[in-house]
Structure 1
Amino acid sequence: MKLGARMMKTGLAVAVALYVSSLLGFVSPLLAAIAAAFSIQPSIYRSYQSIIEQIQGNTIGALIAVVAVFTLGNDPFIVAFAIIIVIGFTTNLKMNENTISLAVVAVIALMDSTDLTFIHFAASRFSSMLLGILAAFIVNLVFLPPRYETRLFKKIDLATTDILQWLRVTTRQLSDQPALKYEIQRIQDEIRWIDHTFLLYSEERTYWKGKRFSKGRKLVLFRHLITTTKKSFDVLKAFYRLEYKIEQIPYEFQDVLVGELDKLINAHEKLVLSLKGRIKQTHKQSLRTIEEPDIPLLVERLTNIFEESGDSDKFAFLPLASQLMEYYYQLEKLKRLLKSYQTHHQEDYIKTSDK
């Protein structure tokens, strides 16, 4: 079992909430722990949003609970009615599920019977929950702050490497079909995680005015890096679907097809290596030219082959040719964005590793 940062943060937040609430003599330290567990978020920005929303949700829950107890009592059916009202209010305000769940917990906790006077009892439990929310926010802010820039690039780099390796193997008819089918599904899941990580990275706030412009450029560069990776994945899926048809065409055409694709694969690898700082900035030749695949010649040869054979599937490869051209255009745009970023932000490197 791998212990992630969020798991450790949740445990630490619960411990801090229990310790501080016991130290302050709160009646219900357990409620502080529950609130802390519900309030941990994957990013500092989301943690800030969560603390505001959790306070609002708990305040709504507490007010409804107090009104219900003073007007109707705390019979189990009254508690159920109050919970329904709270869920209705918080859902109308489009609060997230954690906030709604914690607001429900607040209602149940405040409407529970006790020997203390109700106001004192409600204030104590409400304070415990606020303490838990605050503990979670502080732990998220101080302990192991997430580095989404590094994490995002590593995920993109790994997915791109896998895709390009499979493209080389597949175009040479060396791939195992069941293995490739599994890898396509796995890479699809990886791309979903890349999109999720990019969302978290884009939500991170830059507090230094001088770095806001640089962060904006990084977001544009990362967004297009992801788009290019997805386009290479589309090409891989196209080759996977047409693998049996490719085997039936002459070897001369297969060699031409492999040669045109290799131009794009090599360019993609150079761009990623440049981002990782493994190509010298002074070596401009590495990023100067990306060879354009000769798609019209490719289509013409393919059409001639199928016309000679009389096969009705002569246009089956046209979508693949279109995918190759789109892949080329995306690489060209990525090259321009990377060159522009490296020219204007030489001191603000993209963090590609934890070092």
Structure 2
Amino acid sequence: MKLGPRVIKTGIAVTLALYICSVLNLESAVFAGIAAIFTLQPSIYGTWKQVRNQVQTNILGAFIAFLGLYFLGNDPLSIGLVIIILISISLKLKMGETISLTVVTVLAIMSAPGNEDWIFALNRFIVTFIGMATALLVNIFVYPPNYKKNYVKKMNDVFQNISILMRTAISDELTEKTFKEQMEQVENDILLLEEQFKLFDEEREKMAKVNKMDVREIVVFKQMFKSLQQGFIVLEDIDSFYFTCKPTPKENQLFDLHLEYLIKYHELFLLKYDGKIKMDEPSLEDEFMKQTEAFLEKVMQSYNEDHKIEMAVIGASIYNYAFQLDRLNTLVEQYRKKSQ
């Protein structure tokens, strides 16, 4: 079983929160651990945003809990009523994401012994904030997220899977079960990659002073994602429409060769980003799109009217894929030249 950095950081944050409460002789340290678990997020900015939002809602929750203690007491019915009021106010103020920990805070405060209500409640309130602060510090200093490395690795993994599917889509070498499983895996990976890019871009935008990132490189990463996404759409369209057109062996070869051509250059453009191959000659961009246009012209000439629509759908997907790759090549070229 492989433990990811977030799992390890959660364990460390809980441990430190409990230890700090023990050193400060604060009671109910378990609430610090709960707060640390709720607060820790995949990104540093996400954790900071969670702390900020939790501080706001916890102050609100503590205030409502103190009022509830003063006017209603701490019997189960009163606690339930206060929680209903708190959730309603939180949703009204669009603070729904932080309701869980705020409810825990209210429960912690309102379950204080009768003769020590305020002291005990304040203790639990402080303990909760210790847990949140610990989660933030752990996320900053323990295994700080390497967004660029994680994104590039995931992107290369997705490309390798798309490459296998693209090279076997027409030849139909994979079993139907394997092809479907691989397609589902790629679809899920693309969704995860999109989430990683959002974290990456958010971190770059919100914490530019802490993590300096080249905006040009962010644009390249976004185009990498678009290219993968369009490659997957090509695979979906081929799976849905191609074989219903009953292609001949010659037509299969035509498609197979051009898909191989596209995936080859997709790989070259990614290697170019890594600085592993030489920069293009100026004529490559024009040649790349001309090859695709020539391919589509042959396709539309070879099929009869009964299958023109299906071929037009597949042809449009392939043309868009080539366009996205051409755009990727241009952006990588610009990025590499300015970096040098």
TM-score of the pair, normalised by structure 1: 0.88
| Structure 1 residue 236, shift from structure 2 partner | 1.3
The aligned amino acid for 1:269 is E
The aligned amino acid for 2:80 is A
The one of 251, 255, 274 equivalent to 2:253 is 255
The aligned amino acid for 1:206 is A
The aligned amino acid for 2:43 is S
State the partner residue of 1:339: 333
Q: How many residue pairs end up in the alignment?
A: 334
Q: How does 1:208-219 map to 2 (within 5 A)?
A: 211=212, 214=214, 216-219=215-218
Q: Which runs of 5+ in 2 are unaligned?
A: none
Deviations 1:241-298 (A, max 9, x none): 235336x3332222222223222122111101112232135x6489655253114422
State the partner residue of 1:86: 86
The answer (yes or no) to whether the contact 1:270–1:286 under 8 Å persists in 2 is: no
The answer (yes or no) to whether the contact 2:300–2:312 under 8 Å persists in 1 is: no
State the partner residue of 2:106: 107
TM-score of the pair, normalised by structure 2: 0.92
State the partner residue of 2:271: 273
State the partner residue of 1:352: none
Structure 1 residues 168 and 317, CA, compared in 2 at 3 Å: closer, same or farther?
same
Structure 1 residues 96 and 220, CA, compared in 2 at 3 Å: closer, same or farther?
farther
Structure 1 residues 111 and 95, CA, compared in 2 at 3 Å: closer, same or farther?
same
| Structure 1 residue 96, shift from structure 2 partner | 4.4
More helix by share: 2
- Using the alignment, how far apart are the partners of 1:50 and 1:182 within structure 2? 36
- Using the alignment, how far apart are the partners of 1:233 and 1:219 within structure 2? 21
- Using the alignment, how far apart are the partners of 1:174 and 1:244 within structure 2? 14
Deviations 1:79-121 (A, max 9, x none): 1011011111222222243x21111111111111416532212
Q: CA RMSD in A?
A: 2.0
- Using the alignment, how far apart are the partners of 2:269 and 2:237 within structure 1? 23
- Using the alignment, how far apart are the partners of 2:12 and 2:137 within structure 1? 11
Is 1:64 the equivalent of 2:58?
Answer: no
Q: How does 1:1-355 map to 2 (within 5 A)?
A: 1-97=1-97, 99-114=98-113, 116-204=115-203, 205-207=207-209, 211=212, 214=214, 216-245=215-244, 248-281=246-279, 284=281, 289-291=287-289, 292-293=291-292, 294-303=294-303, 306=304, 312-346=306-340
- SS of residue paired to 1:171: coil
Q: Which runs of 5+ in 1 are unaligned?
A: 347-355
State the partner residue of 1:349: none
The aligned amino acid for 2:288 is I
| Structure 1 residue 146, shift from structure 2 partner | 0.7
- Using the alignment, how far apart are the partners of 2:114 and 2:310 within structure 1? 79
